[in-house]
């Protein structure tokens, strides 16, 4: 179909309100056997009619993709799944209702409608429903399921902008739909529950912690951290398993975190500097360093020339790191470096997906040595390396373009607000993320033991939370500030009058006002009993307040969790409804 004088046409659309005419054009190209690149919430995909073997073959030809690498099929509704599979077990139905649309690919036993070329001859097919208006609109207009791997040359970093797609595939495909940069930045999680043991075949934005409440016993496939040999006769069951992936033209070295201290930026910076020195001495060619915000300045001060330093974001904001990772790897090629030294991250939560991409980008070329002492001529690395107070991957999140942020605020930032933020991030879908802070918080304290325990029982991990005091900058960066009590709301509104229109109590904004007789902790009203605090009815309590369980029993924390869960679910429903009604929300 390609007949564009050697160039692929690019059609720009508003990602929130895409032009239906452009979506219709893309759908028509796909129906007629062509290939179209389009944005999803993860990365840009290269689509073709999944029911047309000849059309799918054009994907392999354009990308230079190995024939034994299966392709994920994308749908725009639940009804589109049934003809493609032999059955939909109840557990999978629950996963679909919970995580779709969203960045989770589920393996099904495929029906005869799916050509062998899509699945590389396997009896399973990976299917997902993307959470992006452009992708969903194109699939809907096409009227057929769409097979779509990432829209890049095979083995190169996945594209997160239309410019990346054009760089790789201009003249090789029929159209590019430019919906701006993608939000998540790493590919979907691939989950296989078709066998005896549920396995994550490829980690992604949906983490193992997210899946455990719905898939008991789920584990990560060992091949996530170790490549299948190209000589291995067993076919990969998921994209990203067998071959080198995500690699720039430059050679990548990965500095693995010391498992005894995975959050030590000082240790990882020292080892990275040692490796860069060795590479400079050996090759005399420019070296790139893929740094975190905590170490960037140390590298710049240490190396005066011959080194290009780029930051992928802060270690306490892994969502930002994920969204920027592939773009930074591509920029290293643009900068002309021959070798890239990349810092590793902790392998928990979203960090598992980040490390999977980095290990494969490096072709498992890792630098695990732990440096115990720093060379005498090193320039001020310890003074310039900052370990974030929140540790690796705590519930705080950054605000890359397109992200909406909720800031939950309580008093000490050790129970109610971290519980609310952790629960929100566990349940909410992009673009919303949550952070937390306290009106009178001490810096760097963990969540209380009882808060961690009750959260863990409900599938939420608060182990990396560290408290912080709310400030103007946090409120400025938040789209919505939700307090636990009316007193906290009123205090913040007085302190930040220009931002008062974004500050509410959680229950007030969620539209869930508690009945006056609801129990709260008595010491909130300075009515603590002699037994050290109890949950008692307080006449006249503000019905917009969430009671403080600090210092009380496990039962009190469980009660607070239930109160928060009801409010947070109502909040998410409201935000989702606003997203449907108004693209500005």
* Blockwise average pLDDT, block size 10, the chain, 585 residues: 75 96 98 98 98 96 87 98 96 94 97 96 96 98 98 94 97 97 96 91 95 93 65 59 75 86 79 90 88 94 92 93 97 94 93 94 74 37 43 43 86 92 92 90 83 92 89 92 90 88 94 50 35 32 74 87 95 82 40
Token digits for 276? 């860069």
In a domain, 335, yes or no: yes
CA atoms of 9 and 2, how far apart (whole Å): 10
484 shares its domain with 453: yes
**Are 262 and 356 found together in one domain?**
yes
3-state secondary structure 172-192: CCCEEEECCCCCCCCCCEEEE
Looking at 169, 189, 209, which one is the last position of a domain? 189
| Under 8 Å between Cβ of 418 and 445 | no
93 and 163 co-located in one domain: yes
Three-state secondary-structure class, residue 461: coil
- Closest Cα to residue 384, out of 475, 208, 265, 465? 265
- Indicate the average pLDDT of the chain: 84
Helix (H/G/I), strand (E/B), else coil: 12: strand
* pLDDT at residue number 263: 64
Residue 4 lies in a domain: no
Q: Tokens 């929140």 appear where?
A: 390
Give the largest CA-CA distance in the chain.
Answer: 84
Question: Residues, the chain, total?
Answer: 585
Do 60 and 125 sit in the same domain of this protein?
Answer: yes
Residues 272 and 337 reside in one and the same domain? yes
Distance CA 560, CA 562 (A): 5
Residues 525 and 415 in one domain: yes
Whether 146 maps to a domain, the answer reads yes
Burial class (CB in 10 A: 0-12, 13-18, 19+), 427: middle
Q: Report d(CA 403, CA 397) in Å as an integer.
A: 10
Residue 359, by phi and psi: left (phi above 0), alpha (psi -120 to 50) or beta?
A: alpha
Q: Is residue 241 part of a domain?
A: no
Rounded to whole angstroms, the Cα distance separating 291 from 309 reads: 7
| pLDDT for position 246 | 87
Strands (E), 326-372: 339-343
The structural domain count of the chain equals 3
Contacts of 420 (CB under 8 A, 6+ apart): 408, 410, 434, 436, 482, 484, 506, 546, 564, 567, 568
Domain termination site, one of 320, 352, 384: 384
CA separation for the pair 395, 406 (Å, rounded)? 12
Residue at a domain's end among 147, 168, 189: 189
Cα 508 to chain center, whole Å?
29
Domain for residue 346, yes or no?
A: yes
Report yes or no on 3 lying in a domain. Answer: no
Is residue 44 within 8 Å of 38, Cβ to Cβ? yes
- Is 333 contained in some domain? yes
Cα→Cα distances 574→231, 395, 489, 508, 569, Å: 52, 21, 20, 12, 9
In a domain, 452, yes or no: yes
Identify the CA nearest to 91 among candidates 185, 183, 218, 181. 218
Specify the pLDDT at position 180: 96
User: Chain centroid to CA 445: how far?
Assistant: 25
d(CA 27, CA 503) in angstroms, rounded, equals: 43
One domain, residues 29 and 169: yes
Q: Per DSSP, which regions of 100-231 are E strands?
A: 104-109, 124-128, 146-147, 175-178, 189-192, 199-202, 219-220
CA atoms of 521 and 556, how far apart (whole Å): 8
- Asked whether the beta carbons of 280 and 306 are under 8 A apart, the reply is yes
Give the closest residue to 430 by CA, choosing from 404, 396, 393. Answer: 404
Rounded to an integer, what distance in angstroms lies between the CA atom of residue 272 and that of residue 371?
A: 10
* The pLDDT value given to residue 3: 56
CB 546 within 8 A of CB 418: no
Q: Do the beta carbons of residue 72 and residue 149 sit within 8 Å? A: yes
Structural domain range at position 541: 404-581
Neighbouring-strand partners of residue 49: 146
In 3-state terms, what secondary structure has residue 399? coil
**CA-to-CA dists, residue 521 to 423, 529, 538, angstroms:** 21, 10, 9
- Domain at 505, CATH number: 3.40.50.2300
Give the pLDDT of residue 396: 41
Q: Residue 117: which of 149, 86, 165, 81 has the closest Cα? A: 149
Give per-residue pLDDT as tens, 536-582: 332 333 467 898 887 778 888 999 999 999 999 999 999 988 765 44
Residue 23: CATH number of its domain: 3.90.870.10
183: which 2 tokens? 């939000």
Q: Are residues 358 and 440 in the same domain?
A: no
**What is the three-class DSSP state of 10?**
strand
What CATH number is associated with residue 311?
3.40.50.11030
Is the CB of residue 394 less than 8 Å from the CB of residue 289? no
Distance, in Å, from the CA atom of 222 to the CA atom of 220, rounded to the nearest integer, reads 6
What pLDDT was estimated at residue 1?
Answer: 60
Do residues 122 and 224 make contact, with C-beta atoms less than 8 angstroms apart? Answer: no
Same domain flag for 180 and 262 = no
Question: Which candidate, 450, 446, 440, 481, places its Cα nearest to that of 467?
Answer: 446
Residues 522 and 558 in one domain: yes
Could you tell me if 271 and 371 are in contact, meaning their C-beta atoms sit under 8 angstroms apart? yes
**Span 345-387, pLDDT tens digits:** 988 899 999 999 999 999 888 876 443 433 333 333 334 444 4
Q: How many CB atoms lie within 10 A of CB 232?
A: 12
Say whether both 568 and 425 belong to one domain. yes
- Residues 32 and 175 reside in one and the same domain: yes
pLDDT of residue 524: 38
Give the 3-state secondary structure of residue 324: helix
């Amino acid at each position: 179909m390609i007949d564009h004088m050697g160039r692929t046409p690019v059609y720009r659309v508003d990602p929130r309100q895409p032009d239906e005419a452009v979506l219709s054009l893309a759908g028509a190209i796909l129906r007629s056997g062509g290939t179209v690149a389009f944005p999803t919430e993860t990365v840009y995909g290269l689509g073709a009619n999944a029911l047309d073997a000849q059309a799918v073959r054009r994907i392999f030809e354009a990308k230079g993709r190995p024939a034994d690498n299966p392709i994920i099929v994308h749908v725009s509704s639940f009804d589109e799944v049934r003809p493609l599979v032999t059955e939909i077990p109840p557990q999978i139905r629950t996963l679909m209702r919970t995580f779709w649309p969203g960045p989770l690919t589920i393996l099904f036993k495929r029906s005869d409608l799916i050509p062998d070329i899509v699945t590389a001859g396997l009896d399973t097919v990976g299917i997902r429903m993307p959470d992006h208006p452009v992708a969903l609109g194109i699939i809907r207009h096409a009227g057929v399921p769409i097979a779509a791997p990432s829209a890049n040359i095979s083995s190169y970093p996945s594209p997160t902008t239309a410019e990346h797609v054009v760089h790789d595939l201009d003249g090789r495909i029929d159209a590019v739909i430019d919906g701006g940069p993608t939000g998540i930045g790493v590919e979907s999680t691939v989950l296989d529950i078709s066998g005896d043991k549920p396995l994550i075949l490829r980690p992604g934005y949906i983490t193992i912690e997210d899946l455990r409440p719905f898939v008991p016993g789920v584990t990560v496939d060992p091949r996530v951290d170790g490549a299948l040999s190209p000589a291995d006769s067993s076919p990969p069951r998921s994209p990203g398993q067998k071959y080198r992936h995500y690699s720039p033209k430059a050679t990548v070295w990965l500095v693995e975190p010391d498992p005894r201290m995975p959050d030590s930026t000082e240790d990882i910076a020292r080892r990275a500097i040692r490796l860069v020195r060795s590479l400079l001495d050996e090759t005399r060619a420019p070296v790139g360093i893929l740094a975190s915000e905590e170490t960037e300045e140390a590298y710049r001060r240490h190396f005066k020339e011959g080194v290009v330093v780029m930051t992928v974001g802060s270690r306490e904001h892994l969502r930002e790191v994920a969204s920027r990772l592939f773009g930074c790897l591509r920029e290293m090629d643009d900068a002309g470096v021959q070798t890239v030294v990349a810092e590793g991250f902790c392998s928990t939560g979203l960090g598992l997906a980040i490390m999977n991409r980095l290990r494969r980008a490096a072709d498992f070329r890792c630098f695990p040595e732990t440096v115990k002492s720093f060379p005498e001529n090193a320039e001020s690395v310890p003074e310039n390396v900052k370990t974030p107070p929140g540790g690796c991957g705590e519930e705080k999140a950054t605000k890359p373009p397109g992200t909406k942020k909720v800031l939950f605020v309580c008093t000490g930032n050790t129970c109610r607000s971290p519980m609310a933020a952790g629960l929100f991030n566990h349940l909410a879908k992009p673009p919303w993320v949550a952070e937390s802070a306290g009106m009178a918080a001490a810096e760097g304290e963990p969540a209380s033991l009882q808060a961690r325990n009750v959260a863990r029982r409900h599938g939420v991990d608060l182990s990396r939370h560290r408290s912080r005091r709310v400030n103007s900058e946090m409120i400025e960066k938040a789209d919505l500030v939700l307090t636990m009590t009316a007193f906290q709301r009123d205090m913040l509104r007085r302190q930040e009058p220009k931002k008062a229109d974004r500050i509410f109590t959680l229950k007030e904004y969620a539209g869930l006002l508690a009945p006056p007789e609801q129990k709260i902790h008595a010491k909130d009203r300075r009515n603590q009993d002699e037994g050290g605090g109890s949950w008692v009815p307080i006449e006249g309590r503000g019905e917009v307040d969430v009671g403080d369980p600090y210092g009380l029993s496990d039962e009190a924390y469980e009660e607070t969790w239930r109160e928060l869960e009801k409010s947070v679910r109502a909040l998410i429903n409201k935000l989702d409804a606003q997203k449907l009604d108004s693209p500005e929300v």
